[in-house]
Structure 1
Amino acid sequence: VVRVLGYTPSKPAAIVAAVIYITCGLCFFYHTFRRKNYWALCLPIGSCAMGIGFIIRIMLNNPDHQKRGPFVAEEILTACSPATFLAFNYIVHGRLLGNCMGKRHSYIPPTYVSWFFVCSDLLTFVAAGTAMFTKTSTLETGKTVFQVGVILQSASYYVFFILYFLSWRSCRKEGIATGREAWWKIYKLLGVSSFFITVRTIFRIAESCSDPGTPIRTREVYLYVFDTLPLFLAIVGYIFWWPGPYLERDSIADAVPMEKVSTSSV
Structure 2
Amino acid sequence: MTSTVTSAATSTSVSSTASATCVNNIPPGKNGYLPPESCDAVLYYVPSFAAAILFCALYGLTTIVHIVQAVAYKKGYAWVVIMGAAWELGAFVFRTLQTRHQNSDLFDTGYTIFFLLAPIWINAFLYMTLGRMVNFFLPDKKLGRINARRFGLIFVCLDILAFMVQLGGAALSSNTGESIKTVMLGLHLYMGGIGLQELFILCFLALTIHLHRKLLQLERSGTETDLQKLSHGSYPWRWLFYTIYVALGLITVRIIFRIAQYAQGTSTSNQILTHEVYEYVFDAVPMFLALIVLNVFHPGRILQGPDSKFIKLTRAEKKEKKRTARMEKERKKRGSWGSDDSASYSLQTHGTRGHAPEYSGHEYGV
TM category, shorter: 0.7 to 0.9
Aligned position for 1:202: 256
Q: Deviations over 1:120-175 (max 9, x none)?
A: 11223334344444515244354234223222222211221122112212332453
Residue type at the aligned position of 1:215: Q
Contact 1:189 1:237 in 2 (8 A): yes
1:264 matched to which residue of 2?
A: none
**Cα pair 1:90 1:117 within 8 Å, conserved:** yes
The one of 57, 61, 86 equivalent to 2:95 is: 57
Contact 1:100 1:250 in 2 (8 A): no
The question of whether the paired residues in 1 share the 8 Å contact of 2:49 and 2:96 is answered with yes
- Select which of 98, 118, 128 maps to 2:156: 118
For the residues of structure 2 that align with 1:250 and 1:193, how far apart are their CA atoms? 26
Q: What displacement does 1:226 show? A: 1.4
Q: 2:74 aligns with which of 30, 36, 41?
A: 36
SS at match of 1:60: helix
Return the match for 1:190 from 244, 253, 259. 244
1:84-114 superposed Cα distances (whole Å, 9 cap, x missing partner): 1111111111111111244567213322220
Q: 2:114 aligned to 41, 65, 77, which one?
A: 77
Residue in 1 that maps onto 2:193: 149
User: Structure 1-normalised TM-score?
Assistant: 0.82
Asked whether the 8 Å contact 1:21–1:48 carries over to 2, the reply is yes
* Structure 1 counterpart of 2:46, one-letter code: T
8 Å contact from structure 1 (residues 210, 217) kept in 2: no
Cα distance in 1 for partners of 2:252, 2:117 equals: 15
Confirm whether residue 237 of structure 1 aligns to residue 293 of structure 2: yes
Q: Are positions 1:66 and 2:103 aligned together?
A: yes
The one-letter code of the counterpart of 1:13 is A
Q: Which amino acid aligns with 2:200?
A: S
Q: Is contact 1:6-1:218 (8 Å) kept?
A: yes
CA distance, structure 2, for counterparts of residue 97 and residue 172 of structure 1:
14
- Relative to structure 1, is the Cα distance of residues 41 and 231 closer, same or farther in structure 2, using a 3 angstrom cutoff? same
Structure 2: gaps (5+ residues):
1-6, 12-42, 308-366
Contact 2:137–2:215, Cα closer than 8 Å, also in 1: no
Q: CA deviation at 1:215?
A: 2.2
What SS does the aligned partner of 1:47 have?
helix
Spell out, residue by residue over 1:192-213, the C-alpha distance to the aligned partner (whole angstroms, 9 max, x if none): 2222222222222222333223
Paired AA for residue 36 in structure 1: K
Of structures 1 and 2, the larger Rg is shown by 2
- Sequence identity, in percent? 24
Task: Name the amino acid aligned to 1:221.
Answer: V
Residues 127 and 71 from structure 1, CA distance in 2 versus in 1: closer, same or farther, beyond 3 angstroms? farther
Asked if structure 2 preserves the Cα contact closer than 8 Å seen for 1:54 and 1:74, the reply is yes
Residue 90 and residue 78 in structure 1: after superposition, are their counterparts in 2 closer, same or farther (change >3 A)? same
- The alpha carbon displacement at 1:38 in A equals 1.4
Q: 1:12 corresponds to which letter in structure 2?
A: A
